[in-house]
Amino acid sequence: MRYSIPITVLVTLAGSSICPASPVIAVGDHTLNPNQAHQPIDIFVSGGDAVQGINLFAQTEQNGILGGPVLEQIDLLSGTIFSPNNTGATDLDGAPPDSSPHWEGWFTTTLTGTIAAEGLLGRIYLDTRSGCAPGESYDLILSDTLNGSTNFAGIPAEITDGTIVISSSGPGPAVIPEPATCTLLGIALWGLACQYRTWPRQRVGKH
């Protein structure tokens, strides 16, 4: 069951010079390593519409139930379309660990005028160290989250949500051999040692 997070600050600008449009966001399918924090996923926007701000909401879930990778933060400013023109970024639910680890919301606005909604929109950082099994898949959604859909300061976006798959390889806990494996390895090493003893040795003499 979903419970909305009370958000007291949301950006909604009504610029008379901006006509309603629908910037396009395709979240895409991504693979994350198991048991690793601070893994980035880049989110892009296209369409080139003139916008004055962004409310970027992200959520991870499986079969409609919150879960999977923990959302650490969203970077709206480093190399993004808002990088050269912004008023700073605000975390709507506070620094982690927060009350809803599978939801994250950030916003920013332009300092002056508008910018074109075309390029890198934001970078979402995720943590797979808890509750993520290798091979499992989860939904990464920017539409219809706990607190609504990602929007450009009141301008709706055309969003295609994506998925996250936890890799079966990559960083993870160290694999410790089972006792039977260790026993077989010991027998093999003992056999090699015995064989070495029986090998003929060449006598080194003076010439």
Q: What is the CATH number of the domain that holds 146?
A: 2.60.40.680
Q: What predicted TM-score, i.e. pTM, was given to this entire model? A: 0.75
How far apart are alpha carbons 156 and 20 in whole angstroms?
8
* Residue 189 domain flag: no
Range of the domain at 45: 24-166
- How many domains does the chain contain in total? 1
The answer to whether position 207 is within a domain reads no
* The predicted structure's pLDDT at residue 137: 98
Would residue 187 count as lying in a domain? no
For residue 191, what pLDDT is reported? Answer: 55
Please tell me the predicted confidence (pLDDT) of residue 101: 95
Mean pLDDT of residues grouped by 10 in the chain (207 residues)? 54 47 93 98 97 98 96 98 98 85 97 98 97 96 96 96 93 47 49 50 45
> What pLDDT sits at residue 156?
97
7 found inside a domain: no
Q: Is residue 64 part of a domain?
A: yes
Domain assignment present for 19: no
pLDDT of residue 207: 47
pLDDT of residue 98: 80
Instruction: Answer for the pair 60, 68: CB distance below 8 angstroms, yes or no.
Output: yes
pLDDT for the residue numbered 43: 98
